[in-house]
Amino acid sequence: MKIIIVGCGKVGVTLAERLNAEGHDITLIDKDAAMLRTVADRIDVMGVEGNGVSFQVLAEAGIKQTDLLIATSGSDEQNMLCCLMAHKAGNCHTIARIRNPEYVKEIQFIREELNLSMVINPEREAAIEVSRLIKYPSAIKIDSFAKGRVDLMKLEIPEESELDGLKVFEVNTRLKCRILICIVERAGEVLIPDGSFELKAHDRLSFVADHKQAQDFFKKAHVTGNAVRSILLIGGGKMTYYVAKMLEDTGISVKIIERDFKTCQRLSEVLPKAMIINGDGTDQQLLLDEGIEQCDAIATFTGIDEENIMLTLYAGSLNSKAKMLTKINRIGFDNIIRTMNLGSVINPQLISADRIITYVRAMQNSVGSNIETLFQVAKGAEALEFKVGADSGVTDVALQELELKHNLLVACINRGGKIIIPNGQDMIREGDTVVIVTTQQGLKDLRDIMR
């Protein structure tokens, strides 16, 4: 597909990298010529210098032949106007990044009036993930499928855990639970294990389960974290606002440290139940005074990655039992970051990219199935949810008889709200949604799971 991305910021460049890797024809528009050259030197994309709202610039970028335009500039209003111009000029699909909390209640109206195919809010999407992680403090990462009925969770196996030394096929019988282990990350490798694979301490494993079974598994595997009753948020940006807003009626005590006084004033007006502290979040004495050693969860959400990393490491040295949440914007050093004890790493750009790539692949689907959800579970591994149509080519055949691609797993079947963790005898039926976990890249249709 031909895709135009307006804006060479973190989201725009992340999208350009991932969509280019999937074989799409990408054109980037930005006013910064030097930035365009830097990106074009690294990725096979075309750069057009100029304002993405300008019809002349859009025409130069090939708007009349474009299938999709994604507006990711720093201005919400510019993104909306850019999408409106693109829709009028090229009648293409449009996606706008809209981050301002003031627009949250008006998003449906904005979508309809501007004919937007999708609206993405990176900080709000990240906050939704944070609120799920607070619900399950033992999990490092949680992705939800089947309209929230089933989760794909990631955990790190601690020392002396019941899981250490168990083979995958033994887990359910030994622990008397019903989960499906999909991915194991070990020493930089991402593996889809078979039943004879032996788990070890410090492995990061991702498993599928419904809510009840997940809680049961955490308890029996002795990987339980403390229930979160208080959280300290360092940094008062948009993501902090969205997280605090989502926790407002949960009974969790929320404390925010922010160095900018005007931001503190604004937060105190929109978050009356939260305690707002005006101060430097890197001040060790201030953190001690505000009870960092007693908090159940600590979130480092400043705008500087290095600051967040150092704050998390410092907080962990004082309070090893707290749930740690670390915001990281850059993705170039993920191999190094993975070796640090940063708890749950939250990357708004990657979360947004997942949502947009879901939409892009859905545009390419055949009539046989439709991709509903996509998550990058680990580097090189994806989990995708498909709606099964009549012509999908995989229905009414036992899973063990299907010639599935290697390194691919049917992780879950949702049949009218009933969650099935499948075995070899189960079948996929028309109308189901199925979750596929794989290290195969670029699946667009359910047919693609077959060899």
Mean of the per-residue pLDDT values for the chain? Answer: 89
What's residue 335's pLDDT? Answer: 67
pLDDT tens-digit readout, 395-449: 889 998 988 888 899 999 999 889 999 988 999 998 899 999 998 877 888 888 8
CATH number of the CATH domain containing 61? 3.40.50.720
Among 417, 418, 420, which residue's Cα sits nearest to residue 435?
420
Q: Decide which of 220, 255, 282 is a domain's last residue.
A: 220
Backbone angles phi, psi at 361, to 5 degrees: -65, -35
> pTM for the full model?
0.84
pLDDT bucket at 319, cuts 50 / 70 / 90: very high
Q: 9: closest CA among 361, 378, 348, 363?
A: 348
Quick one: average pLDDT of 357-368? 72
> Percent of the chain beyond pLDDT 70?
98
* Phi and psi torsions of 250, nearest 5°: -95, -10
22, part of any domain:
yes
Residue 225 maps to a domain: no
Query: Are 375 and 437 found together in one domain?
Result: yes
Beta bridge mates, 231? 254, 297
The total number of structural domains in the chain stands at 4
pLDDT of residue 369: 55
Domain extent, residue 278, equals 230-346
Given 102, 120, 138, the domain boundary residue is 120
Q: What is the mean pLDDT of residues 105-109?
A: 90
Same domain, 363 and 342: no
Q: Are 338 and 286 in the same domain? A: yes
278-313 per-position pLDDT tens digit? 999 999 999 999 999 999 999 999 999 999 999 999
25 shares a domain with 105: yes
The amino acid that residue 436 corresponds to is I
Q: Do 184 and 256 belong together in one domain? A: no
What is the structure's pLDDT at 332? 64
Number of residues assigned to the chain: 451
CATH number of the CATH domain containing 400:
3.30.70.1450
Q: Tell me: do 116 and 6 sit in the same domain.
A: yes
- Per-residue model confidence as pLDDT tens digits over 186-221: 988 899 998 899 999 889 999 998 888 888 888 888
Round to whole Å and give the CA distance between 59 and 125: 32
Say if residue 109 is in the same domain as residue 20.
yes
